[in-house]
Every structure is written in C-alpha cells, then in structure tokens.
Structure 1
Amino acid sequence: MELTRRELIAAFLGSAVAASACRRSRSRAPVPGEIIDRAVDTGHRLRGGPLPRAEVAEQVEVLIIGAGIAGLSAAWRLAGAGLKDVRVVELDDAVGGTSRSGKNSVSAFPWGAHYLPAPLTQQGPVMRMLREMGAVKGTDVEGYPTFEEELLIREPDERLFYQGDWYEGLYLYAGASPADLAELKRFEARMNAFAAARDGKGRKAFTVPTALSSDDAEWTALDKVSMAQWMEAEGFRSPRLKWFVDYACRDDYGATSEGVSAWAAIWYFAARQDGKGERSEGFLSWPEGNGRLVRQLMSSLGPKQVERHVLVHTVEPGADGCRVEALDAKEGKPRAFQARQVVFAGPHFVAAHVVAPWRQQRPEWLGAFTYGPWVVANLTLSGPPRSRGFPLAWDNVFYESRSLGYVLATHQALRQYEGGPTVLTWYLPMVGLDVKAEREKVLSAGYAEWEGMVMADLMMAHPGIAEQALRLEVMRWGHAMIRPTPGFMWGPARFAAQESLGRTLHFAHTDLGGMALFEEANWFGVKAAERVLKELGQSVTSWL
C-alpha cells in the first residue's frame, strides 16, 4: 500500500516532523537535485552468481582491497616502511569510504564522518598522521597535545531545536526540573568515574582505540546488556537524559540505546576524558569533514597506486600468496592479481561473499556483524538559514526528529557567512533493530521522497528555508556503520574476525573495532600493514 506524504515522513522522521510538515503543506517548488550513490548497484553483482576469471594475473607484492580509511591507513603504513610495490583497489569512483567528501562552488562538504575528536595522547598512528599534516601545535603543562586553533571547532559549536526555539548545547536545560538536573549530575559523575577507572595493569577501563581498553571482567560485563537496560537498572529514568544518551548512540553508532551495548555507550562518554569531565580540546574539523584526513593518507601514495572501479569478487589465499579475481566495473572486463600479501580492507559482510574459503564454509561468527544504514544529504543555500533563539552553530540538532539535524559545512571558514551562500550536511541514521527492513526502506525511496523528507525536517526549524534552497544531493549508505550490539564488543566474533587467514590474507576495517570511528579504522589498517611487513621479513617498529 502506498503511503501518504505525511505517513512517509512519520515513518522516517517521526510524528512531530510529519505534523509540522502538514501545517506547512502549502505548495512549493521541489529543490533540484539527485541521488548520487551508485556503488550499491555494482556491489550487488557479488550475489549474482559466478563472475568471469582472467587468464593472466598482474603481479604485485601487496594488494589492498578497499580504499576506505582502513585500507588507506594500511597503505600509508606500508609507504612509511618504504614499500613501493603496493596497489590499492576500490570499487567506487571516490576513495575514503564513509569519510569521503564532495565540493561545489560554495564549499567542500562531507558525505559521512565530519570530525575527529582531539586525541588525549601523544602516541599512536592518529597522532603521527596529525603531526604529518601540521595539525599539532605542541603540548600543554599536563602533557596533553594541543592543536592548531583553526582546526578546532569554533563557537558556537552545538545547539538544540525544541518546540520552535534554538537552545545552546545538546542537553535540553530549558524547562528541566530539579529532578532532571539531579539525574544528569549523577549520570555525569558515573561517566567521570568510568573515565578515571584503571585496572591492575594500569590500563584505562575505556580508552581510544578500543583495543587498548581493559579486558577485565568488571568492565567487559557491561557489554552483555544494552545501554537502555543499564540505565533502567541504575535508576536513570529522566526523559531528557534518556534522549541525550539515545542521541549519543544514534550519532556515533546509528542505533538507539536499546540496540547498543552498555559498554559501547559508556565508552562514548568516558573514553575521551580523564575522569574530570571534558578534558579533550574538542573536535578537529574541516569544511569537507574527514575528507581532509583521506587526502592526507592519500598524499603518501603515488598516482598509480590507487585504482578505482575495481570489483573484487574472489580472494583465494595460498601458501605463497593470494590469487585475486576482479572485474573492471566500468568495462565489464575480468582482471586478476597475484599478490604475495593481501589486506582485505572491506567490511565482513562483503568478505563473506569474496573470501573463497568462507564462501565454501561460512564461519558462524560472521552472523554477529550488524550494519546500520544511513542517509546523508547536502543542501546548498543562497544564505544561512534564519532561525529564532540561540544562533547558528556548527552542529544543529533537532530534539523532536529522528534525524540528527545538520552540520554547517562553512562554519570553519574564517569569513563570516552573514549573507553569503552555505551548505548544510543533513544526517539520518536508520535505527530500527531490523537492519534489513531499514535498508530496504532507505533504498526504496526515490529522490522525490527524500527531497520531501529532508525539506520537511529542515522547514520545521527554518520555515523559510525552501526559498533559499538551490540544490540538494542525497547519498544512501546501505551498510554505513557497524553496530556495537549487546555482546558484540567483547564477544568471540569480533576477535575471530581480527585473525589473519593463513600467512597471506589479513583484515582491516572499522568493524573489527566494533565502532565506525576513524581511530578504529586507522588502528586496524596499521595493524594489518605491520602483519604484512612481518610476513615479508621486514623488521618492524610498531606505530601502534
């Protein structure tokens, strides 16, 4: 049965947005634009039966399959070791995975991840990369790294829309009762205690990356329940606090607190501070979001080392290397590679269809990997959107919508956009527990439906925005983010997936960390590269 416009908006964004759209239902010209994702159609060819094999294989020392952050991080690490015969192949026409970016005449803008939390430590591959790009300014009196001011999100950084007005920050203080505020204070104290906690070996209970966190049962037991269950057991029942925690889970994990492990949700609040509250310098960001970090990783590679439009459909590991069968996704011609070492830097739901031994006998633990879909839209405006209350910020969140609101791509520009054009990057995680049904919903809606939903959401907070809209582009991510579901972070599946297959096939992806975060992808990319170097007989001083 075909849904009405109001029913469609309610199904995706909630009843409050649908009611607002109904009140503002006067006719308007649709915003010109398009759905720009295409790789999903090509990628689904993996399920269409056997694909042709090439007669001759190209010889390469190291082949990296996938040019997302993990694959590029692996290539960056190998380049740092002086390895030259490295090839990266990517299905899409753009590199970076969910950190990719776009650009128009107004601004660069993200198509996914749009910031990097400022690290608290001087060690590790992320800090090495930030030093390479000149982002690190120095060290403060406590030994924490400091960063160049122009990279830190300038104020105002966050605001929240609720019942017609904008308010500062992401917790709804307006109208909060003394009981609400007391519960918030108690929750913050608990998170600070988690952040300060150390085990008998001196390891933080929760830290970045997750691989360095304590594995003591005192903390890992939190992975067995959902964050919603933990909050109920701890007596956290304030609707405002529950919304705030749900927002955190939707923002970083693409799921609500019902579908996120309590360990993962507490990690969100505790891992990036030292137990005294907000210790991190904040967020590092650029107009193109984490596309800037993609560009930095790419700068270590030669122009011919990264090939696009390559659909890898079979990886056959052997004692002396791997045979990799692929298809030129543009011309349909078969290709093959014979590599001494291979890094598969794609998600495990793809690996299940590509790694030959797994096709023949699928490991049971692959079923534990769950990926949530997202939709990202970039809307170009003739000027900044007009609003009432707290002024326009970098991150602009809607309390009454299932979307995450939008990020202002031009916020970090040195000039003020008081009257000039700008770009809004709008985010919608599809948080339902049935990810297959959520994915089908995302892919079934066409441009007209998405245009209607994006504009309905934005018009709730900015009634005049339709007159300012110049162009809308929509990106659907069918398997955008690994979900840290209860039992996954410290269960056997994630650790089984981290193991190499023999001595020639290694894995690197953010799903190995259980969280779709830059730091996790970077960590596992570097880790896989160092396994490659070891197998090639090189002496390795770890960057980890």
Structure 2
Amino acid sequence: MSLSRRSLLLASAATLAGCQQAAPELQGGWVGATPARGHRLRQPLPPAGDGPVRRTEFLIVGGGIAGLACARELQRRGKDFALLELEDQAGGNARGHIMAGLPCPLGAHYLPVPGPQAPEVQQLLIDFGLARLESGRVVYDERHQCHSPQERLFFEGQWMEGLLPPPDGLSGPKQYRRFAAAVAAAQREIGFAMPTHRAGWTPAHQRLDSQTFQRWLNEQGLDDAHLRWYLDYSCRDDYGAGIAEVSAWAGLHYFASRHGFHVHADAEFEREPVLTWPEGNGWLSERLAAGLGEQLLPGRTVLRVEPGKHELQVLAWNEQADSPERWSAAQLIFATPLPVARRLLGDEAPAALVHATAGMHQSPWLVANLLLDGPLLERPGVPLAWDNVAYGSRDALGYVHAGHQGLSPVAGPRVISSYWALPGTDRRQLLQDDWRPWAHRVMAELGRLHPDLEDRLQRIDLARWGHAMSVPVPGRRGSAALAALHQGQGRMAFIHSDISAYSVFEEAYTLGHAWGQRAESHARQIVR
C-alpha cells in the first residue's frame, strides 16, 4: 500500500518531534534567609516551657555585622554574653553562598577601603591580615583589592570603562564640573564622614536632610539626563531608592564621605579602591563569627522580650531542637532591624522606637546568583569587569563577576551575581512569591546584555532580603528618635545600622564595636 505525500510528511514530522528533547526544567530556588522563622512573630506565642532559664549579663539579638562586632568586643573584654541568631549562619545580609564549589555573595559584596574616620574598621582589617601599618600608615594587601578592570557600563550598544556615562547635552560637561565642585564644597564647608556620626550634625546638615536630592538638584540647575541617571543609580546602589526619595544629605553623603565626584577626564581622577572576595562580605562575617565559639547560638528565633526593673526576660525558639528557650539578661542589645525590635517589644517598646519605626521606609533587595558553564558572549567594548551595569536599568543594579579575584587562566564554569533594589515592591509579597517568575525576570534583564545567557545557564539561586535597607528619606538622618535610640534606652541598646538611617558595613561595625566598648559603663549608669 502506497502512502500519500501528505501522510508521509506528517509521519516524518511526528518522528522528528519524538526525537527532540524537551527543554530542561530551570534549576534553582530561594536560598539564604528563612522567612518562615521570622514569621513566627505573627503567630500565637507557644508555651514558654518549663526548662531552665539561661542567664547572661549581655544578650545580643541578631548576628549581622553589628551584632558580631559587639560580640567580638565583649569577648575581647572577657564579658559574659550570648548572641542569638535567627538563621543557621550568622552574617545578616553580608553572607556568602556556594554553587558547584564556587563561592559567591548573597548580599553585600565589597568594602571600600576605610578612611581615617573609621579606625575601628581599619583595625579589624589589620587583625584579619588584610592590611598592615607602615610608618603610621595603613597599607592594604593588593590581593584583596578589586582587580582591574573594576567597572564598566553598557551604553549605546557597547561596553565603556567606568560607570559614569558621558554628558548628554552641550551643557553637560559644565554640569558635571559644577556637581563635582558642589561635592568638594560640601566636604570642605559642611563635613561628611563614614561612619556618619564622626561628621557631627549641624544646621547645614539638617537643611540638606529636609529635602529630596532631586529637589536639591533642581535648585542647582543640574538636569543633564545622563548625570541624573548616574546619581539615581548611585543612590539606588547604596540606599535602595533613587533621587526622588532619598534626602539631599544622603545624595551628597554618597560622594562627599568618600573620594568626591570626578569625571574620567580629570587628571586627579582615581577610582575608589575597594576590598572584595568571591563570597563578598561573607569573607568578613565568617571570620567574625568563627571567633565567637559557643557564645554564638544560631537557629534561635526570638519571640518575645519582657523588660523588667533588674533584668529582661526573653523567650526564644530553638529551631534545631524545635523547643522553646528562656533567657534572662541584665542588658539586651538589639542588633535587628528596628521594625523587628518594635514587634518583639510590643506594648513595652520605648517611645523613641515607636517614633523611629512609624515613618520608616525600607527597600527590599534581591540577589540572584547564576551558575554558568562558561564565559558569555561579549558585546563590543571593554572586557568583562568585576562590576557590570547597563545604562537605563531601573530596579536592576547590574551584575558582579563573583570569580573576578581569581587568577586562573582557565575559562571554566563561573558565577555572576545580579543585584536588584526593589523600593516599590511589597516586602510580604516578595517573601511569599514563587522563585521562578523572579528568575525569569533576572534572565530577561541579563539576556539583553548576553543573548547566549539561557544556553549557558546551569542553575539560578535567589536570595530575598525583606528588611534589606532603611531608606534615608528626608528627615530620617536628623530624626530625634534615632538620636535617642543611639544613646540607649535603659537596659536596652539598639545598634543596627538602621540607627544611621542607611545600611553599610562601616556603620554597622562601628555601632556594634562602640556599644561593646561602652556596655560596662552603661551598666554602671543603670545601677546608679
């Protein structure tokens, strides 16, 4: 029996379809923070149990950088303390991750070389072997400084060096120079520092803090589109929100507390040196945590705090044992985001904490680590850098080549880390979402830069940070409530970087270190 031509074609098509393999399912998922643990706070309290009450002089709640810094100083002074950390790994949003044996960051991924206003951070880096003193000057180990090329920008179809785009219009170059002059004047006449409290707080700071950065730029006549994009990107990178939301103090602080603002053509231009590692600031947090031994207790979800005249009672949940723990402490040190401390204290929260959290803006973050089977195809321009940013992107902040510090010439598997600031995203919704739509959103953004991304992708792991950043909106940094919390509230201290109105390593470490130093004298004041 003969087959018709149409039947033959149909049969051939069916055979070919059967031979084709279905596209592999996307591999990945949520990693890092465990939202279900934190959400125990929204559930009815479990029975406190009848186990023994564990007593300590200082109880630290939260094992991010501030909590670890405080614990390190208390340990150095021989104090009796314990640190309760929600997650199984300390470090907060400065933790690392591993994909196929390759380290990568889950959050903060670099530390600018600290200046003389941050001697505590300088000493930490010396203690960790990252720097040394030579003739009274701190010299940093070049192996841990970001290797070149450091930054590049995808602009008008090709990669260019640095992140500052060329001016947009004829008046653009003048505007770039005027903004540079304004930053220099702010450094000289008003004063900026990191950590911020080292610069003091004057009426001039207060005036800047009373308006948005966008309004200040409007008043200065700085409207060049490319300059505006870069300043907006810088604010989103450090604060999680753009120029329309952060204060003018914050916008100027970004540049004036560091190395100023320079265009690439300036003879004095020198890119800010930064320290970085494949696992980002996880390199630092792992070493901070390792020295604490059994005084660091991970997997403890604090559920309730009851202040008393002579001590504070704390109910925690031991996640590994799946049972309650009762604690009693003479002093309680909150190294958690301020909204978490507010919820733990409930009706017992001091007025300063209530006021500080009432007008608080927070920006959730997303960090996506993509495991690739090899290098990606490159567009024209400068080669792959450590930090890679696309001009015009909104929520996406670009990606970091996690293996940039490696010296191996072999072009094998690699991890790139994509960063997203999400100020308009509902935090609770982000914590409830399935990971796949977010993964595809990340892939679509990166696919614009590297069309072969999907072919190279082996796995994508995503970390979501609901309380990632306190946004320094107008009035935030100069808030009287934050100043009051900075001084402590009876037997309670608040040392999270939220106190500084924004989140960076230098602020968190210095706050924690300072309270570890003053804890004993503060205890004597309470007794009096």
Indicate conservation of the 8 Å contact 2:35/2:431, yes or no: no
Change (3 A) 1:191 1:359: closer
Deviates more, 1:122-131 or 1:351-360: 351-360
Change (3 A) 1:390 1:172: same
- Deviation, 1:91, is 0.9
Deviates more, 1:151-160 or 1:359-368: 359-368
- Whether 1:472 aligns to 2:460 is yes
Residue number among 366, 374, 385 corresponding to 1:383 in the alignment: 374
- Whether 1:486 aligns to 2:477 is no
**In 1, distance between residues paired with 2:220 and 2:307?**
49
Per-residue CA deviation, residues 23-60 of structure 1 (Å, 9 max, x unaligned), is: xxxx9655311112452122112122333223331122
- Whether 1:170 aligns to 2:155 is no
Indicate conservation of the 8 Å contact 1:370/1:483, yes or no: yes
Change (3 A) 1:359 1:332: farther
- Deviation, 1:528, is 2.1
**In 1, distance between residues paired with 2:495 and 2:192?**
22
Structure 2 length as normaliser, TM-score? 0.88
- Deviation, 1:298, is 1.8
Indicate conservation of the 8 Å contact 1:152/1:282, yes or no: yes
**In 2, distance between residues paired with 1:392 and 1:40?**
35
- Whether 1:344 aligns to 2:340 is no
The residue that corresponds to 2:27 in the other structure is 32
What is the SS of the residue equivalent to 2:194? coil
Change (3 A) 1:405 1:275: closer
- Deviation, 1:415, is 2.0
Change (3 A) 1:351 1:119: same
- Whether 1:510 aligns to 2:505 is no
What is the SS of the residue equivalent to 1:171? coil
The residue that corresponds to 1:227 in the other structure is 213
- Deviation, 1:241, is 0.4
Residue number among 251, 268, 290 corresponding to 2:237 in the alignment: 251
Change (3 A) 1:397 1:166: same
Residue number among 53, 57, 61 corresponding to 2:53 in the alignment: 57
- Whether 1:308 aligns to 2:298 is yes
**In 2, distance between residues paired with 1:405 and 1:527?**
34
What is the SS of the residue equivalent to 2:143? helix
**In 2, distance between residues paired with 1:98 and 1:515?**
13
Deviates more, 1:104-113 or 1:508-517: 104-113
Deviates more, 1:269-278 or 1:252-261: 269-278
- Deviation, 1:467, is 1.2
The number of aligned residues is 495
* Aligned pairs for 1:278-317 within 5 A: 282-302=273-293, 304-317=294-307
**In 1, distance between residues paired with 2:423 and 2:354?**
27
The residue that corresponds to 2:72 in the other structure is 76
* Aligned pairs for 1:8-27 within 5 A: none
Indicate conservation of the 8 Å contact 2:91/2:289, yes or no: no
- Deviation, 1:196, is 2.7
**In 2, distance between residues paired with 1:520 and 1:234?**
30
Greater C-alpha Rg: 2
Question: Gaps (5+ residues) in structure 2?
Answer: 1-21, 263-267
**In 2, distance between residues paired with 1:130 and 1:525?**
16
**In 2, distance between residues paired with 1:236 and 1:501?**
43
Consecutive aligned runs of 4 or more in structure 1 exceeding 6 Å deviation: 274-277
The residue that corresponds to 2:82 in the other structure is 87
The residue that corresponds to 1:153 in the other structure is 146
**In 2, distance between residues paired with 1:365 and 1:60?**
28
Code of the residue aligned with 2:73 in structure 1: it is R
Indicate conservation of the 8 Å contact 1:47/1:353, yes or no: no
Residue number among 512, 519, 530 corresponding to 2:506 in the alignment: 519
Change (3 A) 1:80 1:211: same
**In 2, distance between residues paired with 1:444 and 1:319?**
40
- Whether 1:181 aligns to 2:173 is yes
- Deviation, 1:148, is 0.8
The residue that corresponds to 1:216 in the other structure is 202
What is the SS of the residue equivalent to 2:474? coil
* Aligned pairs for 1:412-431 within 5 A: 412-417=405-410, 419-431=411-423
- Deviation, 1:291, is 0.6
- Whether 1:120 aligns to 2:112 is no
Indicate conservation of the 8 Å contact 1:70/1:345, yes or no: yes
What is the SS of the residue equivalent to 1:99? coil
Q: Among the aligned pairs, what percent are the same residue? A: 35
**In 1, distance between residues paired with 2:34 and 2:290?**
24
Indicate conservation of the 8 Å contact 1:106/1:422, yes or no: no
The residue that corresponds to 2:258 in the other structure is 272
**In 2, distance between residues paired with 1:129 and 1:238?**
41
Code of the residue aligned with 1:506 in structure 2: it is A
- Deviation, 1:164, is 2.9
- Deviation, 1:315, is 1.6
- Deviation, 1:280, is 7.7
What is the SS of the residue equivalent to 1:365? helix
Indicate conservation of the 8 Å contact 2:314/2:326, yes or no: yes
The residue that corresponds to 2:265 in the other structure is none
**In 1, distance between residues paired with 2:441 and 2:271?**
35
Please tell me the root mean square deviation across aligned C-alpha atoms, in Å: 2.3
- Deviation, 1:359, is 5.3
- Deviation, 1:416, is 3.4
- Whether 1:497 aligns to 2:485 is yes
**In 1, distance between residues paired with 2:320 and 2:76?**
32
**In 2, distance between residues paired with 1:91 and 1:181?**
50
Code of the residue aligned with 2:108 in structure 1: it is A
- Deviation, 1:137, is 3.7
Structure 1 length as normaliser, TM-score? 0.86
- Deviation, 1:161, is 1.3
Per-residue CA deviation, residues 168-215 of structure 1 (Å, 9 max, x unaligned), is: 111112x744322221121112112222335xxxxxx11010111131
What is the SS of the residue equivalent to 1:244? helix
**In 1, distance between residues paired with 2:438 and 2:23?**
15
Question: Gaps (5+ residues) in structure 1?
Answer: 1-26, 199-204, 539-544
- Deviation, 1:370, is 2.0
